[in-house]
Structure 1
């Protein structure tokens, strides 16, 4: 499961936790270019990727929270007509992500009709080494990968296409950037990646450390959201959307499958209501596919669920009233 490429050749190897004392460590990303309004270089990588309608294509998994970020920003910024999408099959087995279309919502490779996501990577670099992950942002004109770093892809989508679409909603506002980065840093390490560190731990000490940090941060977030409507206050930002993709999966997969079971999300009043508000945000609910989410985690992770039994629940009422409208406004009144 979750193999890797070595000099362009596929290897079916799992993460090496023996060398890290049982801890799960996430790989770094390989492609770090940026789409910009005029094609000028971004903060990393090379230039030559101007914002143009129809030029770029996203490869995603509906199951993956990192890819989900990109899908949400594509929806929030009105980019559905400008950036195409191919969706992998939810089962990630010995061949890695596949472009089979025999699962509702899986599309196959809409650009090249290739069988595996790794073929997109080797199309960009025949000698590439590293993990084959989603999301992937592909440039159809240059025939290469722009980026496979979700945190940077969402910032491109946030602003690069504004002149094209006229949508200037800003989820990375300059006055809040230092505060957003501080929250992102904690949420990434202890929540977004923390559920994986707990779920993929192979020693008790590694699990205890990860799950302890996770619930410390969930308690901190619960308290923060008792006073603020969103993580930064009255304005929704990328920090909220980065957190949301983990929260929406928490009770369905992380609570049981990844042993993050000190409490369910529905037992946190502020976090649960906040999650429902973000789910109900225009354009967001259609990006959430619980069938892919539940099937992927339970079917793909044989080391955790060797019989590949896919559970039936939970039954979550995400459209119930969230009651978040007055949060954070009482003190200002």
Structure 2
């Protein structure tokens, strides 16, 4: 995975030598918001009002960060209003590409570009930074609204409600403080924690990350013994942010990222909870397990230089939810 430096592509991996072997994620470079009336959001500039057909989502079905946005596009009824282009699961020397030699891939619907980096330089010709998914693109001004998944999810949650008529709220105001608190721990130790474990280049950095990861999984297992969902009595943003990591855990992170103290299936509540969210109407349609497994094992040659794709366990995500006596 490379990056752009003043608009020029450089095939360069993350530098962990300067961080004591720790993987440190880059901050997203575009932080504007689509709002119902086009006023500025919490960050960025005004001028991006919710309009049907104006915005386009660039995503990867392999990537958990992009997967969040695909789930919210589905759950909030945004598919007729926001188009999507899906990148290839192999992320090699050219980064994310629009190759179409895989079932379900779309190419670039808007410009027929070969690489995702071309979208970034169309928005900002001298852009410097990592070229990541998801990307929310504004077709009217031809620029990137945002490439921060957590913020795109919140835009999808509410900005288009008057257009879709879908007022299901996954970030209710009365639960926001607790959702934010839960999100922060899950992001640091699970969503990003699996990467910090897998990309660590010192024993100390790995031990630190993997210990925090399993401490939080144990905390969540206990939490889900008392409640159906992470916050409140209904699924919220916190559940879907966690789900995209859990659904990949046994297939990828357990082996590939050395997160192998326990499997997801060894946590009865987490395993049942993950199956329940997978069976939520429309959610399974956002997942391509073959792309997930291929992406990680084929793209990360620093971890898997032979690029052998493992056989993997046969997981039945269609088993019924088995937790009993929980809050409905």
TM-score for both structures, normalised by structure 2: 0.99
Residues 214-245 of structure 1, C-alpha deviation per residue, up to 9 Å, x if partnerless?
00000000000000100013111000000000
Counterpart secondary structure, 2:58: strand
Give the distance between the partners of 2:254 and 2:216, measured in 1 at CA: 15
Give the distance between the partners of 1:146 and 1:314, measured in 2 at CA: 39
Q: Where does residue 263 of structure 2 map in the other structure? A: 264
Give the distance between the partners of 1:326 and 1:141, measured in 2 at CA: 51
Gaps of 5+ in 1: none
Counterpart secondary structure, 1:255: helix
Gaps of 5+ in 2: none
Residues 256-309 of structure 1, C-alpha deviation per residue, up to 9 Å, x if partnerless?
000000000001000000000000001100001101100000000000000000
Answer whether contact 1:99 1:114 (CA < 8 A) is retained: yes
Answer whether contact 2:58 2:87 (CA < 8 A) is retained: yes
Question: Are 1:286 and 2:285 counterparts?
Answer: yes
Counterpart secondary structure, 2:83: strand
Residues 60-90 of structure 1, C-alpha deviation per residue, up to 9 Å, x if partnerless?
0101000000000000000011100000000
Runs of 4+ in 1 over 2 A off after TM superposition: 323-326
Q: Where does residue 299 of structure 2 map in the other structure? A: 300
Q: Where does residue 50 of structure 1 map in the other structure? A: 49
1:40-189 equivalent positions in 2, closer than 5 A: 40-189=39-188
Answer whether contact 1:89 1:106 (CA < 8 A) is retained: yes
Counterpart secondary structure, 1:138: strand
> Comparing 186-195 with 39-48, which one deviates more in the overlay?
39-48
Question: Are 1:190 and 2:189 counterparts?
Answer: yes
Give the distance between the partners of 1:74 and 1:63, measured in 2 at CA: 16
Answer whether contact 2:70 2:286 (CA < 8 A) is retained: yes
Answer whether contact 1:230 1:240 (CA < 8 A) is retained: yes
Answer whether contact 2:175 2:232 (CA < 8 A) is retained: no
Counterpart secondary structure, 1:108: coil
Give the distance between the partners of 2:326 and 2:317, measured in 1 at CA: 19
Task: Report deviation, 1:326.
Answer: 3.7
Question: Are 1:224 and 2:223 counterparts?
Answer: yes
Answer whether contact 1:229 1:325 (CA < 8 A) is retained: no
Residues 21-61 of structure 1, C-alpha deviation per residue, up to 9 Å, x if partnerless?
00000000010000011111111111111111111000001
Give the distance between the partners of 1:162 and 1:324, measured in 2 at CA: 33
Q: Where does residue 25 of structure 2 map in the other structure? A: 26
Q: Where does residue 208 of structure 1 map in the other structure? A: 207
How many residue pairs get matched?
328
Answer whether contact 2:62 2:291 (CA < 8 A) is retained: yes
Q: Where does residue 4 of structure 1 map in the other structure? A: 3
Answer whether contact 1:277 1:324 (CA < 8 A) is retained: no
